[in-house]
């Protein structure tokens, strides 16, 4: 199976590629930082859902045109963990990928885009593939929580913001900025998608001192080769 792993930044690309066979340029002119590691391409597509969606769609279209289509897309990166659900240093596997702030504000509160009738705000991760991923991680001794992963365009920075999201999306496990963009592009191309987030910080009051990016990248470097071994051979 050919895999496309989409990250936001090159530090996440390097973490994902750390445990994979030798990498070389993926040959994507619009994304020169993308690398091929055997049957896996690791693409740092940029921060936020728009950049992630554009990069994913470009890579999927180029691969299909070249007769080397990807068969699975993984949105991978660091993320915030919802307190009591996903601890800093933990790993979250998305059961669904949710655009958590896509919609309209109103005197009656937030109105999600699907309530407005303008399109989906949730993409279910493939349950079979998610189950396989969870089992592979467990067998490799990598603890992972499975739950909804929220995509936001603005990193939550207050307790009130975190509580509002947890109320709006019960069971939310993690927050990132790219998953829904990646999933939207994968759906458009008929390719299944997974999202995996290594938790670098708690979702809540902005406190850079609480960010553990290096540790989260190490967790990512441990988890991604397990997923590649499960799906990429």
Ligand X SMILES: O=C(O)c1cccc(C(=O)CC[C@H]2O[C@@H](n3cnc4c(=O)[nH]cnc43)[C@H](O)[C@@H]2O)c1
- Quick check: 80 binds ligand X (CB under 6 A)? yes
Q: Is 155 exposed, middle or buried (0-12, 13-18, 19+ CB in 10 A)?
A: middle
- Quick check: 186 binds ligand X (CB under 6 A)? no
Among 201, 212, 223, 230, binds ligand X (CB under 6 A): 201
Enumerate residues 6+ apart whose C-beta is below 8 A from 141: none
Among 50, 142, 155, 164, binds ligand X (CB under 6 A): 155
- Closest CB to ligand X belongs to which residue? 80
Among 147, 176, 192, 225, binds ligand X (CB under 6 A): 176
Q: Residue 68 or residue 214: which is nearer to ligand X going by CB? A: 214
- Quick check: 100 binds ligand X (CB under 6 A)? no
Among 76, 133, 172, 203, binds ligand X (CB under 6 A): 203
Among 3, 93, 133, 177, binds ligand X (CB under 6 A): 177
3-state secondary structure the chain: CCEEEEECCHHHHHHHHCCCCCCEECCCCCCCCCEEECCEEEEECCCCHHHHHHHHHHHHHHHHHCCCCCCEEEEEEEEEECCCCCCCCCEEEEEEEEECCCEECCCCCCEEHHHHCCCCCEEECCHHHHHHHHHHHHHCCCCCEEEEEEECCCCCCCHHHHHHHHHHCCCCCEEECCHHHHHHHHHHCCCCEEEEEEEEEECCCCCHHHCCHHHHHHHHHHHHHHHHHHHCC
- Quick check: 195 binds ligand X (CB under 6 A)? no
- Quick check: 121 binds ligand X (CB under 6 A)? no
Number of residues located near ligand X, criterion CB under 6 A = 19
- Quick check: 200 binds ligand X (CB under 6 A)? yes
- Quick check: 208 binds ligand X (CB under 6 A)? yes
Site string for ligand X, 133-152 (x = CB under 6 A): -------------------x
- CB of residue 57 to ligand X, shortest distance in Å: 18
Q: Which residues bind ligand X (CB under 6 A)?
A: 8, 47, 77-80, 152, 155-156, 175-178, 200-201, 203, 206, 208, 211
């Amino acid at each position: 199976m050919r895999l496309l792993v989409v990250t936001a930044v090159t530090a996440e690309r390097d973490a994902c590629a750390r445990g994979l066979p030798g990498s070389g340029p993926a040959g994507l002119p619009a994304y020169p930082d993308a690398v091929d590691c055997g049957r896996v391409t690791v693409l740092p597509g940029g921060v936020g859902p728009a950049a992630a969606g554009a990069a994913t769609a470009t890579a999927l279209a180029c691969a299909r045109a070249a007769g080397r289509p990807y068969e699975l897309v993984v949105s991978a990166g660091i993320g915030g963990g919802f307190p009591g659900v996903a601890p800093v240093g933990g790993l979250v596997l998305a059961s669904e990928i949710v655009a958590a702030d896509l919609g309209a504000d109103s005197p009656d509160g937030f109105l999600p885009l699907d309530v407005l009738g303008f399109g989906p705000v949730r993409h279910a991760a493939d349950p079979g593939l998610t189950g396989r991923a969870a089992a592979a991680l467990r067998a490799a001794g990598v603890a992972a929580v499975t739950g909804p992963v929220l995509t936001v365009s603005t990193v939550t920075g207050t307790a009130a913001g975190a509580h509002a999201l947890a109320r709006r999306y019960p069971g939310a496990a993690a927050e990132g900025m790219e998953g829904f963009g990646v999933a939207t592009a994968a759906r458009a191309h008929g390719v299944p998608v997974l999202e995996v987030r290594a938790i670098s910080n708690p979702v809540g009051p902005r406190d850079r001192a609480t960010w553990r990016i290096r540790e989260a990248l190490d967790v990512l470097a441990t988890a991604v080769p397990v997923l590649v071994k499960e799906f990429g051979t």
